Amino acid sequence: MKIIIQSLLLTILCSSYLYSTQLEDDSNNTLQLAIEQDSLALVALYNSTEGDNWIKNTNWLSDSSISTWYGVHLDGNKRVNEIKLDGNNLVGKIPKEIDKLTKLEGLYLGRNSLSGDITFELKTLSSLKYIKLDQNYFSGTIPIWLDQMVDLRYINFEFNKLNGNIPSELGSLNKIETIRLKGNQLTGSIPKELGNLQKLQYLDLSYNRLIGSIPKEFGNLNHLGILNLDENDLIGEIPKEICDLPYLLGLYLLDNELTGTIPTEIGNLKSLIHLQLSENELSGNIPIELGNLKDLEYLNLGYNQLSGTIPVELGKLTKLSELILSINRLSGIIPDELGNLKLLETLYFRDNLLEGSIPDSFQELTKLNLFSIGDNSINEGLDNFPPQLMEKVWVYGNKFDFFDFQVSNVNTSRFLYEPQDSLGEQEIVILEEGEEYTLSSATEHVEGNMYKWFKDGQEVPNETNHDLVIADAQKGVEGIYTCSVTNEIAPLLTLYRRPITLTFDIFASVNPFIEITNEFKVYPNPARDFVAIEFSDSKSKGSIRVLDLLGSEVMSLDFNNQNRIDIDVSKFISGYYNIIITSDDKNYHQSLFINR
């Protein structure tokens, strides 16, 4: 009996051994078959993308193990785990055989010349975690089936030719950390479902054609570090919900059509380093709460419709290296507190309504390299520049005089100081025959000033004094008078007096134009190649005419629902012009000087 039992046990052990050996053989055969399929898929990729012309193709199609093929990485079972062929001159299409790489986790084919749709065969690669196809020529739409790739962490389709909508199905990629779709031709609105991606850290949808508003659901993205929506057609207000994201480092909303005010809640973004809100239609004051962003290094609010004064609280942003507030409607003085920004390298305040002086504290800005206050009403403080040579300084279009440049610390070879704002006010003077009248150049006389007087655009002979005296007003003195002032202190600068019209006609004093300076702004003035007309409120529709001093029309155009109109004046000759704007049955008038 004992012998029988031993025989049975031996039989069972042998059978078990034979079965396990068979399983191992089957597994080895299956693995070997999969490895062979991997090799065939790589060969197909090589042949489909002109492998002979790759920048590097070491060992490809050789008898060497595929582990030695350039850019191919294997896992512990010798299965292809990653393909890294970024910037390697791949030309053509991803082959359908790619679906054989069932253990592929990373596909890195950026910066090549691949084309066609994003291949459907990728759908079967359930192990994929990283897809990098940026800077190619892929077209078609973003695949909806991406939502089935549940392990995806990283998608980069930047700078291709993808079109259509962003699929809402992307909102189910629970493990995704990075979505980069910059520089395509995507349209439609941003799906609110993207607000479900709790692990998302980087979202870049910039440089597309997206419309609609910014989803308030983005306020749920608690791990988001970068939100880039630059260069789209987004409308509406900045949702206050995104102002509570604890790890947000960069918020980029450049060149959209966003309206409303900057939410005060933006001061809650304590981790923020970059804030880019320029080229929108934002209005209202700059929130003082921005002073809470102690880590901020870059702040750009330019090209909006912001008003009020520059908050002194910005002086708390001591890590700031760039501050850009250009082309708004900011008024008042430049705060002395900005002198606390010791790391500041770039400061742009051009095209606002600022007045007064450049603060004394600016002498402490020893790292300042680029400075622009062009087209404001600043009239002193050039000697408050830090003593080092800056790369570029723009102070044109203000109220500086020649003396200001004489005492300036700035190397005049490195900055643009002309033209300056015209002198005096435009006047109409009704003369009586025989009357004496003195025309003032409206500038303080500085030693070395040289004056030229003009009547109707022609130089008046022998009139080179600070004032022009009409000793005995008789017929023939009528006309439009201007004066130019130069000084060798600033050899490139010519100051121009605004026109004075002399007439014997009492009816000429009844100005048919309504000149309301806060209705619109003309800048730069004097101008060279272009001039911008900016309305304080959007005008429904109207017309613009430009007349020369003889009353001849040199340009006309219509406008409709615009806040700003840019006019090319590059072909205008030097001299004074009248800009006449007709809107809502009213006429508005401004003078413009073209300086060549």
Q: What CA–CA distance (Å, rounded) separates 213 from 210?
A: 9
Give the model's confidence band at 534: pLDDT under 50 very low, under 70 low, under 90 confident, else very high: confident
Q: What does the pLDDT average to over 15-29?
A: 53
CA distances from 268 to 195, 203, 275, 290, 291 (A): 19, 20, 13, 9, 10
The neighbour count for residue 469, using CB atoms within 10 Å, is 11
* pTM for the predicted model, two decimal places: 0.83
Q: Which sign, positive or negative, has the C-alpha torsion 9, 13, 16, 22?
A: negative
Q: What is the DSSP string of 411-426?
A: -GGGEE--SPPPBS--
What does the pLDDT read at residue 313? 98
For residue 388, count other CB atoms closer than 10 A to its CB: 12
List pLDDT tens digits, range 25-57. Answer: 555 567 788 788 999 999 999 999 999 999 999
CA distance 340 to 27: 71
As a whole number, mean pLDDT of residues 253-263 equals: 98
Of 209, 208, 179, give the one whose Cα is nearest residue 193: 179
CA dihedral (506, 512, 517, 523) in degrees, to 10, reads: -110
Residues near 292 by Cβ (< 8 Å), separated by ≥ 6?
267, 268, 270, 316
Mean pLDDT within 185-190: 98
Q: Between 409 and 234, where is the model more confident?
A: 234
Q: Read off the pLDDT of each residue in 340-353 and give the average, rounded to a whole number.
A: 96
> What is the reported pLDDT for 480?
85
Question: Each residue of 59-112: pLDDT tens digit?
Answer: 999 989 999 999 999 998 999 999 999 999 999 999 999 999 999 999 999 999
pLDDT band with cut points at 50, 70 and 90 for residue 316: very high
Token pair recorded at residue 418: 């002309």
- Give the residue with greater pLDDT, 440 vs 24: 440
Other CB atoms within a 10 A radius of the CB of residue 508 amount to 15
Locate all alpha helices (DSSP H) within 269-327, ordered by sequence: none
Q: Which helix (H) or strand (E) holds 33?
A: helix 2-48
Is the dihedral angle over the CA atoms 355, 357, 361, 364 positive or is it negative? Answer: positive
pLDDT, mean of residues 222-243: 98
Least confident of 121-125, 172-176, 185-189: 121-125
In this predicted structure, the answer to whether residue 494 has a pLDDT above a threshold of 50 is yes
Residue 581: CB partners within 8 Å, gap ≥ 6? Answer: 520, 533, 542, 543, 544, 587, 588, 589, 590
From residue 375, give the alpha-carbon distance in Å to each of 29, 304, 344, 397. 78, 16, 21, 4
Q: Is the pLDDT of residue 281 over 90?
A: yes
Tell which residue, 51, 123, 117, has the closest CA to residue 85.
Answer: 51
Q: Are 246 and 268 in contact (CB under 8 A)?
A: no
- Structure token pair of residue 568: 């090319």
Comparing CA positions, the residue from 381, 256, 351, 359 lying closest to residue 314 is 359
pLDDT at 271: 98
In this structure, are strands 161-164 and 185-186 parallel, antiparallel, or unpaired? parallel
CB atoms within 10 A of CB 128: 24
Question: In the predicted model, is pLDDT for residue 586 greater than 50?
Answer: yes
Distance between CA 146 and CA 123 in Å, rounded? Answer: 7
- Does the structure show a pLDDT above 60 at 165? yes
Domains delineated in the chain: 69-258 (3.80.10.10), 427-509 (2.60.40.10), 520-594 (2.60.40.3080)
DSSP structure class, residue 573: P
- Check pLDDT > 50 for residue 262: yes
Q: Of 309, 362, 370, nearest to 339 (Cα)? A: 362
Q: How, if at all, do strands 520-523 and 530-548 pair? A: antiparallel
Alpha-carbon distance 161 to 323, whole Å? 34
DSSP state for residue 232 in the 8-state scheme = S
Expressed in angstroms, the distance from the first to the final Cα of the chain is 121
For residues 12 and 141, the model is more confident at: 141
The pLDDT of residue 388 is 63
pLDDT per position as a tens digit, 498-528: 888 888 755 444 444 444 445 677 877 778 7
Instruction: Quote the CA–CA distance of 588 and 579 in Å, as a whole number.
Output: 8
Per-residue pLDDT at 259: 97
Q: In the predicted model, what is the mean pLDDT of the chain?
A: 88
Highest mean pLDDT out of 135-144, 469-478, 585-594: 135-144
Least confident span in 44-58, 379-393, 480-494: 379-393
Q: Per-residue pLDDT tens for 565-576?
A: 888 888 888 777
